[in-house]
Amino acid sequence: MMKKIFEQVELNHISLKNRLVRSATWEGIAEPDGGLTEEAYKIYGELAKGGVGMIITGFTSVMTNDFYFDGMMRLSKDELIPQYRKLTDLIHRENCPVLSQIALGGYYRRVPDGRYRLVEPDDMTVEEIHEVKDAFVNAAVRAEKAGFDGVQIHAAHFFFLSRFISPKVNHRADEYGKDTEGRIRLLLEILYEIKEKTPELHVTVKINSSDFTSGGLNEEESLVVCKRLAEEGIDSIEVSGNGTSVSGILYVVRALAEAIDARM
């Protein structure tokens, strides 16, 4: 039987009153530490009141030292939990589930002069890769404490995880590279540990259908990755046309990242 857009639907651990989902949209309205502004509460309150079936928050960084762009929400510290609890409470009042899009713009290593420098996957130590995994898992644990119904692991749009799984960027020769399985090892490790620590959360991944760049993740490999995620217990997948990377937005994001870099 054909399903209708305004019909209720059950996904793992969540119930949607209709099938309209607000896809993650970075609003640039958080404080530098990831704290929420009155504007953030207003935007999300209005979205929920509008009757959407589910909301996925904008890009929420899992690390404090992620300087990729300004105004990102963050779930990188326990002290932020009450502010996010207030957000989920006001959305839940409208009978609307909400997922936090947990993400990392880039990995920044602290260098001896005290500044932070963006480090690409090829140049990271295994210890640093594990630090990223822990940051994602800890953010999911905080999301659960803050009342979110689930998390979306952002592995799209050429941000950190998207770059890590892309053959264009990741040329590592160790267990975190070499082939598809190696490049998605970190993503799978994040998934396993989030499932273990927060079994009640709906866990979804956002992934590019293709990087739309030569030597990048293509449709065939993206499909393989989606199948592997399904085998390993993902609850749902949002397949993206990588819109933000191929459109002018990428240049805006890059320019912002460079401007922030220059200030440090």
Site of interaction with ligand FMN (CB under 6 A): 23-26, 58-59, 101, 154, 156-157, 206, 240-241, 243-244
Nearer to ligand FMN, 177 or 243 (CB): 243
Tell me how crowded residue 79 is: count the other CB atoms within 10 A of its CB.
11
- Closest approach of ligand FMN to the CB of residue 59, in Å: 3
Nearer to ligand FMN, 154 or 183 (CB): 154
- Closest approach of ligand FMN to the CB of residue 230, in Å: 19
- Closest approach of ligand FMN to the CB of residue 237, in Å: 12
Counted residue by residue, the chain has a size of 264
The dihedral over CA atoms of 217, 218, 224, 226, expressed in degrees to the nearest 10, equals 70
Nearer to ligand FMN, 76 or 244 (CB): 244
Q: How far is the C-alpha of 61 from the C-alpha of 55, rounded, in Å?
A: 17
- Closest approach of ligand FMN to the CB of residue 23, in Å: 4
User: CA 25 → CA 73, 133, 150, 202, distances in Å?
Assistant: 11, 23, 16, 19
H helices present in 201-242, as ranges: 219-231
Nearer to ligand FMN, 18 or 25 (CB): 25
